[in-house]
A = this chain, B = another copy of it.
Amino acid sequence: MTGHLYIVAAPSGAGKTTLVRLLLENDPDICLSVSTTTRLPRPGEQDGREYHFVDVPIFLEHIGEGAFLEWAEVHGNYYGTSKQWIAEQMEAGRDVLLEIDWQGAQQVRKAFPAAIGVFILPPSLVTLQERLSGRGTDSAETIARRMAAARDEMRHVDEFDYVIINDDLHQALANLQSVIFASRLQYESQRQRHSALFAALLR
């Protein structure tokens, strides 16, 4: 049984985080990718649930082995996405979702060409500008920088299989669910999931 890998990307301000959270809450058969990190666990965090916690030498060893789909250093801590962990989830028939930017998406596609890319767009330029303006306390320069970053991200929309326009949150959620439900109906997924039925009907 093989699960699917979904890459979800969006510019800041498109509402991706909320959308993905709602999706995961409503669909027990899909999980968010669990990253590997060298930062220390916070109270309540559990190894393998929020993160895979490792020390720096191990992380550097993983980098050397090419074990990460992508990795980055943020505020002195390392974060990475383990190829093997994703492959294991998929082999166990679990769907995995990666929240990632266009550069990460390109890396992921190299390792998993069957990954299904979904790009979330805001419903209008005005909405995007409003969402990126924050609480009105940010400088024009800061806002302009955010807009430029959003445009850089959106320029890669054509590298994704599906596009969801996040106008109404519940409609956008239904759209994302359609993409996921449809991929579970693909011939190969169905043949694996219903192998006994296929054998009985086609014998």
* A interface, CB within 8 angstroms of B: 119, 121-125, 128, 151, 154-155, 157-158, 160-165, 174-175, 177-179, 181-183, 185-187, 190-191, 194, 197-198, 200-202
Contacts and interface: CB of A to CB of B under 8 A. Distances in A.
Contact of A187 (B151, B161, B201): B161
Contacts of A178: 177-178, 181-182, 185
A161 B179 contact: no
Given A121-B197, A187-B157, A202 B162 contact: no
A119 B179 CA distance: 18
A164 B191 CA distance: 11
A201 B152 CA distance: 10
A154 B201 contact: yes
A191 B201 CA distance: 41
B190 A165 contact: yes
B155 A202 contact: yes
B125 A202 contact: no
A164 B185 contact: yes
Contacts of A190: 162-163, 165
A195 to B, nearest CB: 12
A182 B200 contact: no
Contact of A197 (B123, B162, B185): B123
A183 B181 CA distance: 12
Contacts of A200: 124-125
> Which 4 pairs across A and B sit closest by C-beta, in order of nearness?
A182-B182, A163-B190, A178-B181, A125-B200
A96 to B, nearest CB: 18
